[in-house]
Amino acid sequence: MSGKPDYRNYINPGPKGSRFTANWQAEFLPDGEMYTENKTGGVIEALIGSVRPGSVVRVRRLFCLAPWKGSPRKRREAVANRVQRVLDRKGAILEAETGRTTRERGGCAKMLMGAYEDIATAGRAIAKGRTGRPPKYEFTDAEWEIIGGIWTSRKYANDKARLAAVEKRLGRVPGRTLLRNKLGSPHKGRE
């Protein structure tokens, strides 16, 4: 055996319409023997059977070792089982995208935790236009005085009308909870 590592690349294309296509996975897997999964799911068994001591199973990300069907719990169990079977045959696993390997200390645990996280959040998209928490506005003392006048005014029937009036006047509005905490109930002082 030469000093060159024996790479075995595993590609598990995602379901139709998924962004985890075979081409997406193959981008990071340049050389070595290719194992591309088909609908039967038997290619992973052939891959594990071909692992020899010193072989490196290379995947783009570890979660690609999991089957695409099944609950997240079953998919996590399958990944852990497949990793253990490769390690039992004295092989190693390399995540091509991150560069992590099971040969480094703590590498297997880090890779598995990352895969578990990827499996748990798979299929959850970020809502269009949402970037996270809404912005927290800073108001000057003069603006707080205006807001306080509108907030305690008897002219408005409810909180919604008061907030709309503040937004109309200033172009932005603090949250209802912030207003109630800072200025108190709009009904204080009434009899």
How far out from the chain centre does Cα 103 lie?
25
- pLDDT, one tens digit per residue, over 21-34 is 778 777 777 777 88
Q: Which CATH architecture does the domain made up of 6-121 adopt?
A: 3-Layer(aba) Sandwich (3.40)
pLDDT at 62: 86
The one-letter code for the residue type at 49 is G
pLDDT at 77: 93
pLDDT at 16 over 80: no
pLDDT at 190: 52
pLDDT at 1 over 70: no
pLDDT at 110 over 60: yes
pLDDT at 165: 92
pLDDT at 88: 92
Residue 179, phi-psi category: left (phi > 0), alpha (psi -120 to 50), beta (remainder): alpha
From the number of C-beta atoms within 10 Å of its C-beta (0-12, 13-18, 19+), residue 130 rates as: exposed
State the distance between the two ends of the chain, measured CA to CA, in whole angstroms: 93
Structure tokens at 134: 């809404």
**Helix 43-50 × helix 72-88 angle, to 10°:** 30
- pLDDT, one tens digit per residue, over 153-191 is 888 888 899 999 999 998 888 888 888 888 888 876 554
CB 7 within 8 A of CB 31: yes
DSSP 101: B
Each domain of the chain, given as residue ranges in start order, spans 6-121, 141-183
- pLDDT, one tens digit per residue, over 34-83 is 888 887 778 888 888 888 888 888 888 888 888 888 888 998 999 999 99
pLDDT at 191: 44
**CA gap 119, 64 in Å, rounded:** 9
